[in-house]
């Protein structure tokens, strides 16, 4: 490891909190586990604008942009900006994963209302989000 902690874009700071093994591909999921593992072993992250260490293994990343849908990159940048505003973070700022986790818990209801509806991963994340938010299991 080069000593640099993970580089993370805004919405990944929130969404990684609810990752539990699902991904676009085994390579992508493995990369997500690796990023999270670095955090759980004490790495400090750095907020970035644009593709990050999570995106690096995404099959939809083309030429430094998300190519999942024609407007994906723009939509993701809006989500990133919202996440950074809610978490009170800025580009190039370093963060501690534990502090980020507590911050996500603080803003979870608002994030859920503004960002989760219609997300491709909503059904995957919902059980863990419900548990974190203290909702009873159904």
Burial track 48-76 (b if 16+ CB lie within 10 A, e otherwise):
beebbbbbebbeebeeebbebeeeebeeb
| 20 pLDDT more than 90 | no
Q: Which two tokens stand for residue 33?
A: 């586990």
Cα 61 to Cα 76: distance, rounded to the nearest angstrom = 12
Ordered by start, the domain boundaries in the chain are 7-130
Contact 25, 136 (CB under 8 A): no
Cα 138 to Cα 130: distance, rounded to the nearest angstrom = 10
Predicted TM-score (pTM) of this structure: 0.88
| 8 pLDDT more than 50 | yes
Check the CA dihedral 53-102-122-118 and report its sign.
Answer: negative
| 5 pLDDT more than 80 | yes
Q: Cα–Cα distances in Å, from 132 out to 13, 18, 104?
A: 15, 9, 10
Quick one: average pLDDT of 16-37?
88
Q: Which two tokens stand for residue 104?
A: 């996500």
What pLDDT, in 10s, does the model give residues 46-103? 999 999 999 999 988 999 999 988 999 999 999 999 999 999 999 999 999 999 999 9
Q: What is the pLDDT confidence band of residue 126, given thresholds at 50, 70 and 90?
A: confident
Contact 52, 76 (CB under 8 A): no
């Amino acid at each position: 490891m080069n000593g640099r902690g993970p580089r993370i874009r805004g919405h990944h700071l929130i969404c990684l909190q609810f990752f539990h093994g699902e991904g676009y591909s085994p390579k992508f999921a493995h990369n997500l586990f690796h990023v999270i593992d670095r955090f759980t072993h004490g790495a400090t992250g750095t907020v970035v604008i644009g593709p990050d260490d999570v995106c690096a293994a995404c099959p939809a990343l083309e030429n430094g942009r998300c190519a999942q849908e024609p407007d994906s990159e723009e939509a993701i940048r809006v989500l990133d900006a919202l996440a950074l505003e809610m978490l009170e973070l800025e580009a190039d700022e370093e963060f501690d994963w534990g502090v980020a986790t507590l911050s996500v818990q603080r803003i979870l209801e608002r994030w859920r209302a503004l960002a989760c509806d219609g997300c491709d991963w909503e059904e995957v994340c919902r059980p863990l989000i419900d548990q974190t938010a203290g909702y009873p299991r159904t």
